[in-house]
Structure 1
């Protein structure tokens, strides 16, 4: 399967006083606000690190679902959090935490498939940073 996805960003002004917006080709984001304050403070809007975290969590969770299916398991629920750490001008770590409700699977197999998903997820492969994973099977 081959495809290309599109997104765009627009920025006006200096880095600290300026503002911008981000739009995705699908329309899921349509001129979503971002600025110095949304990136480095807690102002309302988005930022690149948050979007990277969302992309990574989404891709990883789908990858894990696919691996579970290949092993004859259908998850009732998978939830992944991605914490993106920005330090001294670079992304230094992404901590993934996944919990799953998957009938008939043993915890060690769930953890094994979760680790494999982390390694083969296309977004994980793209990112040049330390990626950690905590996986928990729920009853």
Structure 2
């Protein structure tokens, strides 16, 4: 079961990476307030950078899933990364929530909830040896 959940996690990450890479301008307009920049980088560029990270993460998660049970301990790192995403999302909402549109808040909240679900299910599979 762990292999299946990691596979879903990898596919989810890679699908979002593709969307962010190919439609950054459109998504930036939907998710962020107008004229949002960070370190002189536009929201679209930030989304493309995020896409690169998601590609790397998704590939890593997929590799671990493919190599189970040999890399079972690597699943713990993936779980920590998933929880880090969830916590980072909450912190962004609390401290700089004004950068997001309402649609952006909903979008990132849903993503965080799904990622939390992956982390919980992966943790459970590790505990049960599933």
Computing the radius of gyration over CA atoms, which structure comes out larger, 1 or 2?
A: 1
Normalised-by-shorter TM-score class:
0.3 to 0.5
Bigger relative contact order, structure 1 or 2 (CA pairs below 8 A, ≥6 apart): 2
More strand by share: 1
More helix by share: 2
